[in-house]
Amino acid sequence: MRLELFLKCERSLRRISSETGGLSKRVILSLPANACKTLFTLAQRYVVGDQMTETAPHKHCVVCGNAVGGDENFCDELCESKFKSAQRRQQLLFAAFIVLMALILFLPSLLKMIG
């Protein structure tokens, strides 16, 4: 079913391309959204005939997106240090935000009590 739809979309794209002298952004946008989405999804899955190619179970590095083993989160020490640095910066910004909110909420009442 999906392969038939893929081939139908591919034939339509080739026909439109030959009629217009090439695919333009306007032509691609005029295609039905589900046809383009299906075509893109099937192309990403590396469809070969009726069979999809098998890939080994894996995860991706949380920083750069490279494939890593199933039990790892980072591809190398550089990505791990970048992640920890960004995490530390995020924690510091969150702490500064909490302090700022506390000042905004409690400073007026403290000033009122003092003066």
Do the domain assignments include residue 71? Answer: no
Write the pLDDT tens digit of every residue in 45-70.
Answer: 544 455 566 778 889 999 999 999 88
One-letter amino acid identity for 33?
A
CB 70 within 8 A of CB 57: yes
Number of domains the chain contains:
1
Alpha helix segments (H runs only) across 1-115? 2-20, 25-30, 33-44, 77-114
Write the pLDDT tens digit of every residue in 22-45.
Answer: 545 454 555 555 555 555 555 555
CB 37 within 8 A of CB 9: no
Helix (H, G, I), strand (E, B) or coil at 73: coil
Residue 56 pLDDT: 82
Do the domain assignments include residue 112? Answer: no
Question: CA 5, 10, 13: angle at the middle one, nearest 5?
Answer: 125
Do the domain assignments include residue 101? Answer: no
Q: Between 88 and 32, whose confidence is greater?
A: 88
Do the domain assignments include residue 8? Answer: yes
Report whether pLDDT(95) > 50.
Answer: yes
Residue 17 pLDDT: 60
Do the domain assignments include residue 66? Answer: no
Confidence of residue 11 (pLDDT cuts 50, 70, 90): confident
What is the extent of the structural domain holding 18?
1-54
